[in-house]
């Protein structure tokens, strides 16, 4: 059996400038083959991370959120921006060409109107993915929303964000992740860890899960690991904790 594809997803916050060493340490600790970065808007930072991590194959477009680092040359990398979507999504075919990975970063802020926007973005993404791929593939990244049935205490939010929730009606109907599940995908972390919370944000006091790895239901047996990377140094590297998965090839 071939070695699995070791995949890391990491929101590096505001481009990662002046935190390159901390971010590189966090990435090296996971020993990934492929890293999908969010908020990676500075090509120079991504290039530095590539040097510091030994993942010398990289791609980044200034101003776009999604970027990547890879141990081996990727077969292809393409950025696609669905109509009205805030962020382009990133389509990657890693070395070997078995899996296709779609990097995701949906709109932020916890409010009813932004959840509607995320749902619209997500549906555009899924329509584009359906045109591109029907084989083994994964959706991974910062979805900026809460899975159905999971707890999220708004009282833990900063005051300005609690005010936005209040202004949007005092509650948010979390529909985006349900739309992913309704499209035949499964939450790899929740499948492997039904009794763990898996919080990814904020890194210094995690109380909500915003970062996910999804695969089609038929591909679930190929996911051998999915976990949130946690240690003290990560609190200073970014406001998100990275998620790590292994996909059998």
97 Rama sector, left if φ>0, alpha if ψ -120 to 50, beta otherwise? left
Residue found by looking up tokens 């979390």 in the block: 174
Residue 125: per-residue pLDDT: 85
The pTM is what? Answer: 0.90
The pLDDT value recorded for residue 79 is 95
Superfamily designation of domain 5-247: Endonuclease/exonuclease/phosphatase (3.60.10.10)
Residue-wise pLDDT for 187-228, tens only, equals 999 999 999 999 999 999 898 899 999 999 999 999 999 999
Residue 126: per-residue pLDDT: 87
The pLDDT value recorded for residue 220 is: 96
Residues in the chain, pLDDT under 70: 1, 84, 109-113, 132-134, 151-173
Domain boundary assignment for the chain: 5-247
Show the CA angle centred on residue 190, arms to residues 14 and 102, nearest 5°: 50
pLDDT at site 163: 44
């Amino acid at each position: 059996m071939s070695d699995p594809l070791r995949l890391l997803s990491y929101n590096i916050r505001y481009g990662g400038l002046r935190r390159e060493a901390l971010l590189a340490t966090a990435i090296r600790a996971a020993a990934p083959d492929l890293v999908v970065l969010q908020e990676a808007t500075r090509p120079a930072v991504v290039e530095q991370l590539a040097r510091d991590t030994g993942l010398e194959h990289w791609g980044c477009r200034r101003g776009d959120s999604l970027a990547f680092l890879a141990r081996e040359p990727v077969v292809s990398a393409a950025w696609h921006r669905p109509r009205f979507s805030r962020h382009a999504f990133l389509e990657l075919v890693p070395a070997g060409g078995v899996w296709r990975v779609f990097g995701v970063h949906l709109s932020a802020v916890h409010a009813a109107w932004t959840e509607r926007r995320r749902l619209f973005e997500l549906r555009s993404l899924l329509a584009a993915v359906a045109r591109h791929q029907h084989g083994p593939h994964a959706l991974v990244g910062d979805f900026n929303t809460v899975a159905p049935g999971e707890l999220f205490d708004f009282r833990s939010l900063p005051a300005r964000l609690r005010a936005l929730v209040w202004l949007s009606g005092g509650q948010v109907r979390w529909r985006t992740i349900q739309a992913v599940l309704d499209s035949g995908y499964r939450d790899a972390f929740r499948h492997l860890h039904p009794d763990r919370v898996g919080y990814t944000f904020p890194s210094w006091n995690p109380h909500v899960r915003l970062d996910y790895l999804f695969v089609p239901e038929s591909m679930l047996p190929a996911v051998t690991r999915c976990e949130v990377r946690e240690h003290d140094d990560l609190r200073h590297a970014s406001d998100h904790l990275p998620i790590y998965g292994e996909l059998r090839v």
